Homo-oligomer: A and B are copies of this chain.
Amino acid sequence: MKPSIPKGTRDFSSTEVAKRNYIFSIIKQSFEHFGFQPIETPSFEKSETLMGKYGEEGDRLIFKILNSGDYLSKVNDDLYTAKDSQKMTAKISEKALRYDLTVPFARYVVQHQNDITFPFKRYQIQPVWRADRPQKGRFREFYQCDADVVGSTSLWQEVDFVQLYDTVFSALGLEGTTIKMNNRKILAGIAEVIGAKDKLIDFTVALDKLDKIGKDGVVKEMIAKGISETAIEKVAPLFDFSGSSADKLTSLEGMLADSEEGMAGVSELRFIVQAIEELGLTSAKLDVDVTLARGLNYYTGAIFEVAAPEQVKMGSIGGGGRYDDLTGIFGLKDVSGVGISFGLDRIYLVMEELGLFEQVALPKPKVVFLNFDETENIAKVKAIKTLRTAGINAELYPDTATSNKQQKKQWKYVTNRGIEFVVTEVREDKFTIKEMQGGEQKELTVNEIVNLIN
């Protein structure tokens, strides 16, 4: 029986690694252009660092690592007899795999606060693990690419993040993305105005269905959820919410005039929208979207989500927002954070669908020297050394062919790998080099080969 890997995990072939690295390198370079600096944290953290930070569901989905040695000897008889998996876990496991990059980052900031210059702009590109049910586009091991700033409440950070999204997606050739933006304060303002702070989520969920079920359907659902008709009347403009972001903000201003918090949210979004209008975006579009309620549990200000270009069916390819008290969970109070994340796997799928990987150089030799005659090999290996020193990927087919069949195997090797140039034989200092695409063959010295290829 062939071996296999755990469900929800993946092997990556060299082509896949090259394409993924292409995305990583563009994200990384953009992060650095924007002044972010990389950190890395361990793959596993102490359980106490992670548990209780992602809700009950999150706690269940965290992969726990079994203690080493005779771990059962440390479990007392009462607890053991109970045979309760959850209680047992706390006794036989004290480490767990990273579930996201945000909590480890918060832990990092608190732990190293004396070595950090604030505002601290960090990026982190590392895998995370979740014991989720695997499905299309959802894995148990996947990468997150996060950029966050802690220690600043300036809205210029939000402006920077909108530009950062635009920069990365433009550099990837992924044109036509929509950066949707909302603000928790606007949602809170709406809840205040309709007199139902506790029904904010119900309201947002219903509003989000506008496209599908129309205004009447949405109103019906809201009433069913216990929101009064007069309340709904107050925010009626939301049902015809269209036009430019500036238009939407003007409309919101009218609607939220009685809510101080709501007006603060509008003013924050207006600042960002105006700055971006002045600065311009290359390929993305910024759009105010009041139905956006992503991460409502922890975001306290701006909320971002990026939609893939319209021609591709795909969920969000990025998201983020501001959280006023990121590090409070670890005892460092009043440190505001704001950050965004890029969804590597979905970006990969979108780029594959749009054929945007064509320019990615695959990691394979540019030149392969065939090996038909052992006596030629030292000359060939010397030539290969020269090519590599000149930065050209080159190799000798390792085994010397001693039959026609073995020669064919070598030709098949270079064909299968899509090799561009193949050297067959060497006479004096001249190498016979064949361009595989056109089939053209030349006799060249090593230096001439370097010139031909560079």
Report which A residues bind B (CB closer than 8 A). Answer: 1-6, 9-14, 17-18, 21, 32-46, 49, 60-61, 63-66, 68-73, 80, 83-85, 88-89, 92-95, 97, 107-108, 110-112, 115, 117-119, 121-122, 127, 129, 131, 141, 149, 152-154, 156-157, 159-160, 163, 167, 275, 278-279, 330-331, 362-365, 368, 371, 377-378, 381-382, 385, 388, 391-400, 412-413, 416-417
Q: Are B95 and A4 neighbours in the complex by a CB distance under 8 Å?
A: no
Q: Are B381 and A95 neighbours in the complex by a CB distance under 8 Å?
A: no
Q: Are A33 and B112 neighbours in the complex by a CB distance under 8 Å?
A: no
Q: Which 7 A-B pairs have the closest CB atoms?
A: A35-B395, A9-B42, A154-B398, A14-B37, A35-B365, A152-B398, A12-B40
User: Can you report 26 residue pairs joining A to B where beta carbons are below 8 Å apart?
Assistant: A1-B331, A2-B330, A3-B107, A5-B41, A6-B94, A11-B40, A11-B108, A14-B37, A32-B363, A33-B388, A35-B364, A35-B395, A42-B141, A43-B141, A44-B129, A65-B65, A66-B89, A66-B93, A70-B85, A119-B398, A119-B413, A152-B398, A154-B371, A154-B398, A156-B398, A275-B378
Q: Are B395 and A10 neighbours in the complex by a CB distance under 8 Å?
A: no
Task: Choose among B9, B11, B88, B149 the residue that contacts A398 (Cβ–Cβ < 8 A).
Answer: B149
> Closest residue to A40 on the B side, CB-wise?
B12
Kindly state the separation between the CA atoms of A112 and B111 in the bound complex, as whole angstroms.
43
Task: Choose among B21, B61, B154 the residue that contacts A399 (Cβ–Cβ < 8 A).
Answer: B154
A22 to chain B, nearest CB (A): 12
Q: Are B37 and A363 neighbours in the complex by a CB distance under 8 Å?
A: yes
Kindly state the separation between the CA atoms of A412 and B119 in the bound complex, as whole angstroms.
11
A320 to chain B, nearest CB (A): 16
Residue with the greatest number of chain B CB neighbours at <10 A, chosen from A9, A65, A110: A65
Q: Are A417 and B117 neighbours in the complex by a CB distance under 8 Å?
A: yes
Q: Are A382 and B279 neighbours in the complex by a CB distance under 8 Å?
A: yes
> Closest residue to A394 on the B side, CB-wise?
B35
A33 to chain B, nearest CB (A): 4
* A112 neighbours in B (Cβ, 8 Å): 11, 13
Q: Are B2 and A121 neighbours in the complex by a CB distance under 8 Å?
A: no
Q: Known contacts A42-B141, A46-B6, A122-B14; is A159 also within 8 Å of B381 by CB?
A: yes
Kindly state the separation between the CA atoms of A71 and B279 in the bound complex, as whole angstroms.
55
Kindly state the separation between the CA atoms of A102 and B454 in the bound complex, as whole angstroms.
35
Kindly state the separation between the CA atoms of A66 and B270 in the bound complex, as whole angstroms.
49
> Closest residue to A35 on the B side, CB-wise?
B395
Kindly state the separation between the CA atoms of A400 and B154 in the bound complex, as whole angstroms.
8
Q: Are B129 and A43 neighbours in the complex by a CB distance under 8 Å?
A: yes
A47 to chain B, nearest CB (A): 9
Q: Are B70 and A368 neighbours in the complex by a CB distance under 8 Å?
A: no
Q: Are B65 and A85 neighbours in the complex by a CB distance under 8 Å?
A: no
Q: Are A33 and B394 neighbours in the complex by a CB distance under 8 Å?
A: yes
Q: Are A279 and B5 neighbours in the complex by a CB distance under 8 Å?
A: no
